[in-house]
Amino acid sequence: MKILGVLIAKSGVELLNCNIISSEWEVAIADFSRMDQREVSWWSFPQEKKYDEILVFDRNLTTALTQLHIERSIRELGIAGPIKYVGNEKTLLAYRHQNYLLNLKKEGIVPKENVPAQDTYHIDKYMIAIVGLPASGKTLLRNIFSQLDGFSVYKWGDYVKQEIESRYGEMSWTNVQRFTDEIEMKDKIVVARRFVSSVKDDSPFMVVDGIKSREQIVYVSYALQRPVIVISVKRDEKERQGEAEKRADFDDSVDLERLNLLRKIGALDVVNFADFVVNTTGCSIEYEQNACHINLPDELTAGLHEALSWLFVSDSFEETKKIVQKAVVQVAKQRGAKKVEVKMKNELD
């Protein structure tokens, strides 16, 4: 059998000294850190195009998403063969994604079914960071998550507003600029500290909509001891600009200036660290008297399904469609709509 063992630097290299990696396997080494690198860097590439089995090793797992990024890179290289995950995990989510567990002191590689989940993990609470440009559709995702069992949702902008009002008295574009230049450029986690001190939450999944930078995400994740999953929301730029004009938030009229301000604090860069991408192009939600008309393209559902299936919330694309449809209907009714019409892409074609 041709077996490829993929070690993730730097901790993975130590496994070469633990009598776990067979001398009969080919070994490749990939370097990747989710919140530090935008893409996988290969220290040594796989030599074949097809293997009977590919084992991706990682240690001290919290979300298993590093293994997923490595798997994606393997497929981008055009390499075929079943991929399995091997690791020692700190969370239930990571445990559920492993095919084999690592026991460095005793047996080495152990089939997961031989080790009960409760014997392996001590964390089962997570943070979901929703990032993206203004008017890209982040609120839509937050609203969908708000209707799911086990999910709590927060709007980052509320905490930015509190911080600005406590310093300058009112929320205005001028004061947003002052806050960014005078405070946030010198203290990147000032809003993050306010958020952490305000939140008391036992929900398995805490969703934070609109968190702005890598530093903020990392700070909140570690301070609350919640491993993070980053979801980026993107939208066709012309459509995004049109949505910004239509919704007319206080800073939508200065969209270009706002983007430059966001660039200063790293908000445009953080989307590059996303684990999952949801494309909202083509989405529309229109309220008309007591009715609400919602169009949701399949591309949105597909991106959301990839995330929800990773979290073991949905087992199939069709189930995700039902989850999304139910959620948007509930939100529309909560906002007073008596009649709600939802069209998915296949109904629009």
Q: What is the pLDDT of residues 162-196, one digit of tens each?
A: 999 999 999 999 999 999 999 999 999 999 999 99
Final residue of a domain: which of 257, 277, 297? 277
Both ends of the chain: CA-CA distance in Å? Answer: 47
d(CA 179, CA 334): 34
Residue 216 has pLDDT above 50, yes or no: yes
Q: Based on the fold, state whether residues 170 and 254 are members of the same structural domain.
A: yes
Chain segment 149-159, per-residue pLDDT in tens: 999 999 999 99
Q: Based on the fold, state whether residues 130 and 273 are members of the same structural domain.
A: yes
Final residue of a domain: which of 228, 260, 277? 277
Q: Based on the fold, state whether residues 239 and 191 are members of the same structural domain.
A: yes
Return phi, psi of residue 131, to 5°: -125, 160
d(CA 77, CA 55): 16
Q: Which two tokens stand for residue 341?
A: 């019409």
Q: In this structure, which amino acid lies at residue 200?
A: K
Give 119 or 311, the one with higher predicted confidence: 311
3-state SS class at 248: coil
Q: Based on the fold, state whether residues 134 and 193 are members of the same structural domain.
A: yes
3-state SS class at 233: strand
Q: Which domain holds residue 163?
A: 125-277
Q: Are strands 284-288 and 100-103 parallel, antiparallel or unpaired?
A: unpaired
pLDDT of 251: 64
Q: Which of 163, 153, 156 is nearest to 183 (CA)?
A: 163
Is residue 261 within 8 A of residue 306, CB to CB? The reply is: no
Q: Which of 249, 211, 241, 204 is nearest to 226 (CA)?
A: 204
Q: Based on the fold, state whether residues 303 and 183 are members of the same structural domain.
A: no
Rounded alpha-carbon distances, angstroms, from residue 291 to 103, 140, 146, 294, 343:
58, 18, 21, 10, 14
CATH number at residue 264: 3.40.50.300
Overall domain count for the chain: 3
pLDDT of 260: 85
Q: Based on the fold, state whether residues 155 and 224 are members of the same structural domain.
A: yes
Q: Based on the fold, state whether residues 19 and 83 are members of the same structural domain.
A: yes
Q: Based on the fold, state whether residues 113 and 221 are members of the same structural domain.
A: no
Give 121 or 310, the one with higher predicted confidence: 310
Structural element, H or E, at residue 239 = helix 237-247
Q: Which of 320, 233, 335, 323 is nearest to 285 (CA)?
A: 335
- Please state, rounded to an integer, the average pLDDT across all residues of the chain: 92
pLDDT tier for residue 248 given thresholds of 50, 70 and 90? low
Chain segment 47-102, per-residue pLDDT in tens: 999 999 999 999 999 999 999 999 999 999 999 999 999 998 899 999 999 999 98
d(CA 203, CA 18): 38
Using a pLDDT cut of 70, give the percent of the chain over it: 95
Chain segment 255-266, per-residue pLDDT in tens: 778 888 888 888
For Cα atoms 166, 172, 178, give the angle at the middle one, nearest 5 degrees. 70
Q: Based on the fold, state whether residues 134 and 174 are members of the same structural domain.
A: yes
d(CA 102, CA 189): 36
Give 253 or 286, the one with higher predicted confidence: 286
Final residue of a domain: which of 277, 305, 339? 277
Place of tokens 């604090």: 265
Q: Based on the fold, state whether residues 159 and 97 are members of the same structural domain.
A: no
Q: Based on the fold, state whether residues 216 and 92 are members of the same structural domain.
A: no
Residues for the chain: how many in total?
349
Q: Which two tokens stand for residue 83?
A: 């991929």
CA atoms within 13 A on the CB side of 226: 24
Q: Based on the fold, state whether residues 248 and 304 are members of the same structural domain.
A: no
CATH number at residue 101: 3.40.50.2020
d(CA 90, CA 127): 15
Q: Which residues contact 322 (CB under 8 A, 6 or more apart)?
A: none
